[in-house]
Each structure stands twice: as structure tokens, then as C-alpha cells.
């Protein structure tokens, strides 16, 4: 399991653990946090799953495609990621994730 | 009779999005979704992609977990197919005879797949791919290698060809036009995709008119083309478009034809009756204000959001830039804008590198672009379409110049 703290757009924090294997986007959706649209269902094509991630350990670097798509969001910042591109792995360090504002 | 309130006809992408948006906007009135099938709202795109490959469970592409609807005080009635509408009495009648009244109606019934009408179309082994049942029925027949004839070289047909050939099935694509994706993409992309599919072992037949599906003992054994050619096939999968589901609305007097006509707030010509998604014909600013229907997640979502705002009394017109994606093999296709009416197509980058984009221009302004494995151009191009300034063609065609930088120039 991976420990997650998700801050939704209203500012509420959701603390839970999600199993390894799926993406962060899927974990957020399954938890019933509905701010995340994820319109392309995780195929790195829409950028509607934009989040800000603070990881307490190293994350796999983002792909060029993810980086390029993030260039198109209006509020890219330090820690900007596409939640569908972060694969949760067992033993991963906890993540603190803030859902980015709506485009 | 159940409470009057908002009735949403069709619990797909648009219907679900509208219901969610209304609650987000603080709409406290009753919301009932009437859905013809037995399934809670889900996304269709994975059906011809990762779901077909067995890489994803159905639950992972529900638009919301099943418990969500009740939590949000949204009544979801499944197996509830609307058969008729009385706009004056403000009632709908379901196929099973139930009558429900409404104050406001939102029609988001999408389309049904166009069916083949040729001889043999009813044989066992003929499939379409529109909903989960279609996908499951087809998957059940794919346990060992098959010869599959895919009818239609549009996005769904080509995605099916990619998935099935990757699984080791022998796939033939029958396209009646002289190129694949003829309705949605420019010639350059059509030729590129045709070559990609051939390189993956798919037999792409252009100008191929299906005349008959042949069978034995009630099961498909092959197809016969209009030119007399015969091909062996165990399965036939059709991807030949959809027919918008609007008959009850039109019968009740709503304007429309190929779909129901809506304004930029999703309103039909009948008071208090809205529509959105695949079934809604609208004037699109990215099509030079022509009346069009779009079949995409983007359109279903954004149009539903506009309709929800109008229903909540907070009108906000539908002006979003159209976008679309498709995955085939290791190719990620992303499109933005509408190429309708373009007078020039420019290829940016080397197609042989399998990362490039095609720009569609009119009077040197960018109308649309198709990007293959090129998210950078997709993002830059979207900005450029929105700005609408005339482009320096030499720079626009030069992949070393970022599209984004042209927006400022
Ligand atoms: C296999 C497949 C792959 C796709 N891939 C992509 C893609 O990659 N990218 C993309 O952008 N788009 C894609 N699309 C298109 C996209 O899924 C549709 O544009 C979108 O679902 C349209 O939303 P909608 O709400 O208008 O219609 P739908 O999602 O089709 O929902 C309509 C709902 O209404 C119900 N209904 C119909 N008639 C009635 C009635 N009389 N009474 C009650 N309920 C009724 C139906 O059962 C259905 O659940 C794909 C579609 C398919 C089928
Ligand atoms: S869900 Fe579309 S990019 Fe993540």
C-alpha cells in the first residue's frame, strides 16, 4: 500500500492508502474525490488530471510527453504532474497531492 | 407518479457529466437519470483500447463509482428506455409503459451504431462495438486466433484493427472510401495510418464495398465484396458510424434532422428541453459556425457542462475548442480544432520518425492539427488555433520552431 494525502479543490484533505499497481489518478477517483476529470482515462492525452505532488522520496521522472502536455496547463508549478502517469508501487514513499485548479 | 424535476435521458458521458456539474453548481432540485441499459455511466473509449486488450477492468472506467449517484441524491434508473415524449404535458413514457413527469428535460441519448443491411448481416459472428455488452460478446469469441473482417476504416475500426492484430488475429479492414479516416482526417494522416496498419500485418482494402456476409449453419464464414472478391472470415466487426437517437424529441416537435438542434446553451427549440453530446447538432465556432454534430468525449463533456449551467440558471455558452485522441499500436494521436474548410495541409516533421503533426490552415490561419506522438505540437497548436493569427508558413512547417512561439509573433 502507498500512503496518500489528497487535497481537493475545496481544500479538504483526504488521507488513505492505495494498493500498488494502479495509477495515482485511479486511486484518487476510486476514493471518491471527484475534482479530477481525467477525461482521456489515463492515456496521457488530455491533461485534465493535473496535480501538484510533494513526494517524500524519489519519483520516476516524467516522460517527455507528460512534460509537453504540462506545458499547456495554465498553472504549471514546481511539482506539477499528470496523476495518470504516476504509477503507485508497493513500498513507495508517501505522497501529498493537491488537485490543480480547473482549466 | 415520481416527483417532477430534471429528467436526464441517457446516462452516458454527457448525461453523467451534466448531473455531476449540476450538483457542483449547487443545484438542489431533483435529478433522475433514465438509462436504457443496465449499466451505470461509464466511458466508452477504453472499449476499443485497453479493455479490449484485457488490460483494464470495467470498474476502472466507470465515470463515478456506483455508490456516487445515491450519495449525490441523483436517482439513476437503469433499464429505463424512453420511448416517447409529450412536451406540452411534460411527461416521458418509457418502453415498459411507465410515465414520468419532468419540469426540465436534458436529452443525452447519444447514438446507436449503424447496422449493416447487406445479406448475412444477422449471422452469428457479426459484431458492433458501442457498449460494454458488445465488447464482452466479442472478447468471448477471441480466445483463439480468428480471421476478422473490420468494416469501416474510421477511428473505432482502426483501433479495433490495431488491438486485434496485436493479439495475433488476422485482420482485414474494409473501407469503402479510397482512404481510411476519410471523414475525419487529411490525406497525409490517412496514408500514414494505412501504412502503419499494413506494417503490422493488417490487410487494408480501400474502395472495398461489402456486398454480402456469407455463412454456414447460421455462422459467419466470410465476406463478399461488390467486385466479386471473397474473403474468409470468422468474425465481422463493424465501425460504420452512429445514428443519433432523437426520434422521440423530433416527434414531439423539436427542430433537428441529423440530431436535435441546440443553441450554445444546449437549449432545443422546445422550452425547458435541452440536449448535449453525440445527439446534439450545434453551430460550432471552430467550424465557421456551421451546424455540426461531434462524437467525442470533449464535446459530450463540455456541451453537458454548458447545458448544466443553463439549467442551474447560471448560463455559460459552449465555446470550447474541440479535441480528440486515439491510440493505435504505439501511436498516440491527438487532434485539436476542426479541419472543415481548410485550404492547405502542412506536414511538420518527418513522418518516417513516427513523430510529426499535420497542420490544417485556411488563409494561413491554423484551424486544426493532427499530432502523432507529438504532445508538444498538440499543446502549442491548441494555443495557436485559439489566437487565430496568420502564420509564417515556412516557420510553421519547421519542427525546430515551437508552435507555441508562433502564437506571440
Ligand atoms: C468504442 C468507442 C471508442 C471511442 N473512443 C473515443 C476516443 O478515443 N476519444 C473520444 O473523444 N471519443 C471516443 N468515443 C466517442 C465517445 O465515447 C462519445 O462521443 C461519447 O460517449 C458521447 O457521449 P454521449 O453522452 O453523447 O453518448 P453516450 O456516451 O453514448 O451515452 C448515451 C446513453 O444514452 C442511453 N440511451 C440511448 N437511448 C436511450 C433512450 N431512449 N432512453 C434512455 N437511455 C438511452 C445509452 O444507453 C447510453 O448509455 C468512442 C466511442 C466508442 C463507442
Ligand atoms: S487522464 Fe488524460 S492525461 Fe491523465
Tell me: the pLDDT tens digits for B337-372? 999 999 999 999 999 999 999 999 999 999 999 999
pLDDT tens readout for residues B377-405: 999 999 999 988 899 999 999 999 999 88
User: How high is the pLDDT of residue B3?
Assistant: 54
User: What is the distance between the alpha carbons of residues A49 and A36, in angstroms, rounded to a whole number?
Assistant: 6
**Interface test mutation site (partner A, options B375, B378, B380, B381, max chain A beta carbons within 10 A):** B375
CB A96 within 8 A of CB A26: no
> What's the pTM value of the predicted model, to 2 decimals?
0.96
What atom of ligand 1 comes closest to residue B13's alpha carbon?
Answer: 25
Question: Does the beta carbon of B150 lie inside 6 Å of ligand 1?
Answer: no
Per-residue pLDDT of chain A (103 residues; tens, 9 = 90+): 999 999 999 999 999 999 998 899 999 988 888 788 899 989 999 999 999 999 878 888 999 999 999 998 989 999 999 999 999 999 899 999 999 998 8
| Average pLDDT for B80-90 | 97
User: How high is the pLDDT of residue B408?
Assistant: 67
pLDDT tens readout for residues B24-38: 999 999 999 999 999
Q: How many Cβ pairs closer than 8 A exist between chain A and B? A: 55
Tell me how far CA of residue B335 lies from CA of A62, B6, B112, B306, B373, in angstroms.
22, 34, 24, 22, 11
Question: Which of these, B87, B261, B237, lies nearest to B171 by C-alpha position?
Answer: B237
User: What is the distance between the alpha carbons of residues B312 and B37, in angstroms, rounded to a whole number?
Assistant: 27
User: What is the distance between the alpha carbons of residues B227 and B342, in angstroms, rounded to a whole number?
Assistant: 34
Ligand nearest the Cα atom of residue B113: 1
The whole-angstrom distance between B17's CA and the closest CA on chain A is: 10
Question: Does the beta carbon of A45 lie inside 6 Å of ligand 2?
Answer: yes
* Chain A residue numbers touching B67 (CB-CB < 8 A): 32
User: How high is the pLDDT of residue B23?
Assistant: 94
For ligand 2, pick from A28, A29, A49, A71 the residue to mutate: most ligand atoms within 8 Å of CB: A49
What is the 3-class SS of B203-251, one letter each residue? EEEECCCEEEEEEECCEEEEEEECCCCEEECCEEEECCCEEECCHHHHH
Q: Enter the C-alpha cell of residue B89.
A: 404535458
User: How high is the pLDDT of residue B72?
Assistant: 93
* Chain B residue numbers touching A32 (CB-CB < 8 A): 64-65, 67-68, 71
pLDDT band (50, 70, 90) for residue B40: very high
CB B111 within 8 A of CB B278: yes
Query: For residue A66, what is the nearest residue in chain B, using CA coordinates?
Result: B375
- Residue B164 reports pLDDT greater than 60: yes
Residues with Cβ within 8 Å of residue B278, at least 6 apart in sequence: B14, B110, B111, B242, B244, B259, B293, B294, B295, B299, B300
- Residue B54 reports pLDDT greater than 90: no
Question: Does the beta carbon of A2 lie inside 6 Å of ligand 2?
Answer: no
User: What is the distance between the alpha carbons of residues A49 and B238, in angstroms, rounded to a whole number?
Assistant: 32
Q: Enter the C-alpha cell of residue B323.
A: 479535441
User: How high is the pLDDT of residue A59?
Assistant: 87
Q: Enter the C-alpha cell of residue A23.
A: 495509477
Q: Enter the C-alpha cell of residue B20.
A: 455531476
User: How high is the pLDDT of residue B65?
Assistant: 87
* Residue B22 or residue A37, greater confidence: B22
What atom of ligand 2 comes closest to residue A85's alpha carbon?
Answer: 4
pLDDT tens readout for residues B95-131: 999 999 999 999 999 999 999 999 999 999 999 999 9
For ligand 2, pick from A29, A35, A37, A45 the residue to mutate: most ligand atoms within 8 Å of CB: A45
What is A2-99's CATH superfamily? Beta-grasp domain (3.10.20.30)
Three-state secondary structure call for residue B327: strand
* Residue B280 or residue B407, greater confidence: B280
- The secondary structure element, H or E, covering residue B385 is helix B375-387
For B402, other C-beta atoms within 10 Å of its C-beta total: 15
Question: Does the beta carbon of B325 lie inside 6 Å of ligand 1?
Answer: yes
- Residue B2 reports pLDDT greater than 80: no
| Average pLDDT for B56-66 | 88
Residues with Cβ within 8 Å of residue B216, at least 6 apart in sequence: none
Interface contact flag, A71 B404, Cβ < 8 Å: yes
Interface contact flag, B332 A45, Cβ < 8 Å: yes
User: How high is the pLDDT of residue B1?
Assistant: 40
- Residue B56 reports pLDDT greater than 90: no
Helix count and strand count (H, E) for chain B: 10, 27
Mean pLDDT estimate for chain B: 95
* Residue indicated by cell numbers 474494409: B174
Amino acid at each position: 500500500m502507498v500512503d496518500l494525502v489528497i487535497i481537493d479543490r475545496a481544500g479538504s484533505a483526504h488521507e488513505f492508502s492505495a494498493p500498488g499497481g494502479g495509477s495515482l489518478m485511479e486511486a484518487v477517483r476510486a476514493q471518491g474525490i471527484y475534482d479530477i476529470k481525467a477525461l482521456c482515462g489515463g492515456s496521457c492525452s488530455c491533461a485534465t488530471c493535473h496535480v501538484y505532488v510533494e513526494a517524500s522520496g524519489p519519483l520516476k521522472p516524467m516522460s517527455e510527453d507528460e512534460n509537453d502536455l504540462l506545458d499547456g496547463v495554465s498553472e504549471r508549478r514546481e511539482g506539477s504532474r499528470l496523476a495518470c502517469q504516476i504509477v503507485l508501487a508497493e513500498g513507495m514513499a508517501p505522497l501529498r497531492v493537491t488537485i490543480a485548479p480547473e482549466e | 407518479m415520481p416527483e417532477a424535476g430534471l429528467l436526464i435521458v441517457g446516462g452516458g458521458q454527457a448525461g453523467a457529466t451534466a448531473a455531476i456539474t449540476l450538483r457542483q453548481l449547487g443545484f438542489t432540485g431533483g435529478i433522475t437519470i433514465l438509462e436504457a441499459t443496465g449499466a451505470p455511466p461509464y466511458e466508452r473509449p477504453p472499449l476499443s483500447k485497453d479493455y479490449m486488450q484485457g488490460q483494464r477492468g470495467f470498474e476502472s472506467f466507470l465515470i463515478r463509482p456506483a455508490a456516487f449517484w445515491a450519495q449525490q441524491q441523483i436517482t439513476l434508473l437503469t433499464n429505463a428506455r424512453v420511448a416517447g415524449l409529450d412536451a406540452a404535458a411534460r411527461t416521458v413514457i418509457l418502453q415498459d409503459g411507465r410515465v414520468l413527469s419532468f419540469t426540465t428535460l436534458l436529452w443525452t441519448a447519444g447514438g446507436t451504431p449503424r447496422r449493416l443491411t447487406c445479406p448475412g448481416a444477422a449471422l452469428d459472428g457479426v459484431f458492433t462495438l458501442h457498449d460494454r455488452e458488445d465488447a464482452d460478446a466479442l472478447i468471448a469469441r477471441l480466445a483463439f486466433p480468428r480471421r476478422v473482417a473490420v468494416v469501416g476504416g474510421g477511428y473505432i475500426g482502426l483501433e479495433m484493427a490495431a488491438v486485434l492484430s496485436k493479439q495475433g488475429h488476422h485482420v482485414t479492414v474494409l473501407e469503402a472510401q479510397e482512404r481510411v479516416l476519410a471523414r475525419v482526417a487529411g490525406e497525409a494522416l490517412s496514408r500514414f495510418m494505412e501504412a502503419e496498419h499494413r506494417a503490422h500485418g493488417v490487410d487494408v482494402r480501400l474502395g472495398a464495398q461489402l456486398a454480402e456476409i456469407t455463412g454456414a449453419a447460421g455462422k459467419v464464414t466470410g465476406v463478399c465484396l461488390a467486385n466479386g472478391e471473397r474473403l474468409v472470415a470468422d468474425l465481422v466487426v463493424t465501425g460504420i458510424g452512429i445514428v443519433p437517437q432523437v426520434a422521440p424529441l423530433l416527434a414531439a416537435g423539436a427542430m433537428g434532422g441529423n440530431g436535435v438542434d441546440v443553441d450554445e446553451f444546449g437549449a432545443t427549440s422546445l422550452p425547458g428541453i435541452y440536449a448535449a453530446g453525440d445527439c446534439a447538432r450545434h453551430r460550432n465556432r471552430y467550424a465557421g459556425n456551421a451546424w455540426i454534430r461531434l462524437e467525442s468525449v470533449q464535446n459530450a463533456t463540455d456541451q453537458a457542462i454548458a447545458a448544466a449551467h443553463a439549467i442551474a440558471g447560471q448560463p455559460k455558452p459552449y465555446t470550447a475548442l474541440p479535441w480528440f485522441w486515439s491510440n493505435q499500436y504505439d501511436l498516440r494521436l491527438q487532434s485539436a480544432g476542426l479541419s472543415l474548410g481548410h485550404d492547405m495541409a502542412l506536414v511538420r516533421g518527418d513522418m518516417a520518425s513516427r513523430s510529426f503533426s499535420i497542420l490544417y490552415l485556411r488563409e494561413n490561419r491554423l484551424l486544426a492539427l493532427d499530432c502523432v506522438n507529438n504532445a508538444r505540437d498538440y499543446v502549442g497548436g491548441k494555443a495557436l488555433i485559439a489566437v487565430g493569427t496568420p502564420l509564417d508558413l515556412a516557420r510553421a512547417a519547421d519542427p525546430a520552431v515551437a508552435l507555441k512561439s508562433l502564437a506571440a509573433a
